[in-house]
Amino acid sequence: MSFEMWAEKYRPKSLDEMVNQKEIVERLKNFVETRNVPHCIFAGPPGTGKTTAALCLARDLYGDGYREFIMELNASDERGINVVRETVKTFARVRSVGEIPFKIMILDEADNMTADAQQALRRTMERYTETCRFILCANYSGKIIEPIQSRCAPFRFTFLPREEHDRYLQFIAEKENVTLLKEGLDAIFEVCGGDLRKAINTLQAASSFNKPIDAKTVYSIAGRAHPADVQKMIETAMKGDFIEARKQLRNMIQKYGVAGSDIIRQIHTEIFRAEIPEPWKIKLADAIGEIDYRLVQGADEEVQLSALLARLVETGYEMRMAS
């Protein structure tokens, strides 16, 4: 089965099957009951069910033949004013044939539309409200112009809580006869942080090894170093053993195939988990930010990571002297 097929296979088919987002689901069910849908903005992080909610709403509203009454466009690909003037306007102006007098246009990644395209869309939404309702899915609703926001009912999606995340992945693992270990489940949440689509894709990719899914498998799939290895490297550096810490860093890069910027983010996370007095955490956060900026500007990865380890060694020495 190709990549992302599990995410599509286990996508909810109706609002009743939606995972989490209970308040949103209740509001959408009211639209189905009254057979009336306003223009909507579905905003929130990726992988939280925005597009799925729009499709479930359409299926519950129109029935199994809902595809005849909706159009999906990914605005990050088709983001210009001509798409609004031609494709969107042509679809919106034609009246629906059936009990529901309007069709639904789903615009995914709507926050990537150009300002001109959004202005043209605003006028289209005004003019063809009777024949078409718009659902705009966006990661950042603030990037959508105010005139459109004021015409839409807002829905704010959030990342899945840990319990819902784990329950759904375990359900999929059982259906696919995959052995998902507790440490593997913990690692998937660590990597994906509540993005269910990413979590399902990670689970599918890890299952291709045809063995129980543990933390090591997940981190290697995701291109992330194991947090325990990062913690060990930080501790080694702060104890003053720069050469050994640098060796551990190189081993992690070779073992997990991680990029320097990813290592920086993980070090940043682990610093705040470490038992270090807050003033020293502040100092290290400043140093990590400086190194991250240098990497973004194109500095040599190995040199900058070595410089960061050196700062960790210096901080460890200063902490010991202070105590």
Residue 92's pLDDT is what? 85
C-alpha–C-alpha distance, residues 280 and 315, integer Å: 7
Residue 78's pLDDT is what? 60
The arithmetic mean of pLDDT across residues 93-122, rounded, is: 86
Over residues 272-292, the pLDDT tens digits come to 888 888 888 899 999 999 999
Domains and CATH numbers, the chain: 5-156 (3.40.50.300), 162-222 (1.10.8.60), 227-322 (1.20.272.10)
**Across the chain, how many H-helices and E-strands are there?**
16, 5
Residue 80's pLDDT is what? 62
Residue 138's pLDDT is what? 92
Strand ordering across the sheet containing 70-74? 70-74, 103-108, 132-138, 40-43, 153-156
Q: How far is CA 188 from CA 93, 165, 218, in A?
A: 45, 10, 6
CB atoms within 10 A of CB 67: 12
Query: Is residue 210 within 8 Å of residue 181, measured between CB atoms?
Result: no
Residue 1's pLDDT is what? 47
Adjacent-strand bridge partners of 153? 40
Over residues 33-80, the pLDDT tens digits come to 999 899 999 999 988 889 999 999 999 999 988 889 988 888 666 656
Confidence of residue 21 (pLDDT cuts 50, 70, 90): confident
Over residues 153-210, the pLDDT tens digits come to 999 998 888 888 999 999 999 999 999 999 999 999 988 888 888 999 999 999 888 8
pTM of the model: 0.80
Residue 20's pLDDT is what? 80
Range 247-252, long-range pairs (CB < 8 A, 24+ positions): 249/305, 249/309, 252/225
Q: How far is CA 297 from CA 146, 224, 265, 291, 312, in A?
A: 34, 22, 16, 10, 22
Q: Give percent of the chain with pLDDT exceeding 70.
A: 96
Confidence of residue 10 (pLDDT cuts 50, 70, 90): confident
C-alpha–C-alpha distance, residues 27 and 12, integer Å: 17
